[in-house]
Amino acid sequence: MERNYACEGILAGEPVAWYEPEYKSLVENWSWFTEKLYPITRRKSEVEHRIDLTNGGYLEMWSLQDKDASRGRHYKRVVINEAAKVPALDYSWNAVIRVTLADLRGSAMIGSTPKGLNFFWQLYKKGDDKLEPEWACFTKTTYDNPYIPRDELEDMRRSLPEIIFQQEILAQFINMEGSVFRRVQEAARLQPLAAPLPGHQYIAGVDVAASVDFTVLSVMDAGSKEMVFMDRFNRVDYNVLIDRLDAAYKRWNMTAMKIEANSIGQPVIDNLVSRGIHVIPFTTTAATKQVIIQNLQAAFENGQIAILNDPVLVGELLSFEAKRNASGSFSYSAPEGLHDDCVLSLSIAWDAIYNRPWLIS
């Protein structure tokens, strides 16, 4: 797929770049391109790893052992092959490769076998995010390859460790260390409700963000402990944020809305209270965050909670990390570069249900 994507660009007369994690992995694809493009090649440089075609299109190949490789160049298409193996992929993509596409409004294909929840996984998850319309993601397993004998695959299923089989053959992103929540996919079995059910009580947990992060509202059925609705947004005016929370409260006939009071949360709470909304403030500290995260962790472990099958929510839960402090306590957060607003919103909602039974009267 990556080779076809690159060839389509070159044959259309475009400047195209191909990136590999290291020089050794570049050689095989360089040989393939030089052989296939030989009949229409005008010039080839083994030193520069560049092929110029007779139609004006050209291909340049780079090893990302140099994280600044291709700085200052301009491309219409780029391919990053085996991206999960690139040590400084976040830097190379954000500071170098993405910039090379700006002048020509180019596009990129970033492919790899998964290798944990690293920066490649972050880029992949953009394709699941409806707020990132320019991104798309696709998964193919080794079973989709018609040239691999099925008996070999079944032998690997029997002989390989399950976690390795899932990653290498089924192309699944596996967090092998530091993960907090288990049984997430099992709990993610619901679709959003269109409207509240008669006789049911609903509460919401809200994580309020300023600009870069997201404001997330998670609505739960207090009786069934099922998540019924989630609203996630950012970069809206303050009044729009207030109106959106107000509308959700009234739409779901909520018993209460529990909102983080830190940062801009308190002014939001004051405004909503002035509108007659029953708000319970929640102040996030290291201690209170540990409590609500561990309670949500137990809810997943014990099968007490059911959540929406939303890719952004599930992705945040799977990547959420715990680190033990010197004191023996834990600190919790998303990996660097990722968000945890959905996790915190859901944790606050669960706290409102599980630890505040007086709300459900």
Residue with tokens 């959540």: 307
How does the average pLDDT of the chain come out, rounded? 90
Residue 106, judged by CB atoms within 10 A of its CB (0-12, 13-18, 19+), counts as buried
Which tens digit of pLDDT belongs to each residue from 38-90?
Answer: 999 999 999 999 999 999 999 999 999 999 999 999 999 999 999 999 989 99
pLDDT of 114 over the 50 cut: yes
DSSP 307-320: EE--HHHHHHHHH-
Q: Are 258 and 222 in contact (CB under 8 A)?
A: no
Cα 348 to Cα 137: distance, rounded to the nearest angstrom: 30
Q: Which two tokens stand for residue 313?
A: 């929510």
* Alpha-carbon dihedral sign for residues 149, 152, 157, 161: negative
Report the pLDDT value the prediction gives residue 163, as an integer from 0 to 100: 64
Report the pLDDT value the prediction gives residue 358, as an integer from 0 to 100: 46
Of how many residues is the chain composed?
361
Q: Whole-prediction pTM value?
A: 0.64
Question: Minimum mean pLDDT among 36-45, 181-190, 271-280, 340-349: which range?
Answer: 181-190
Delineate the domains of the chain, giving CATH numbers in brackets. 2-138 (3.40.50.300), 184-359 (3.30.420.240)
What is the 3-state composition of the chain as percent helix, strand, coil, each rounded to the nearest 5? 40, 20, 40
- Which one has a higher pLDDT value, 359 or 241? 241
Strands 107-110 and 321-324: unpaired
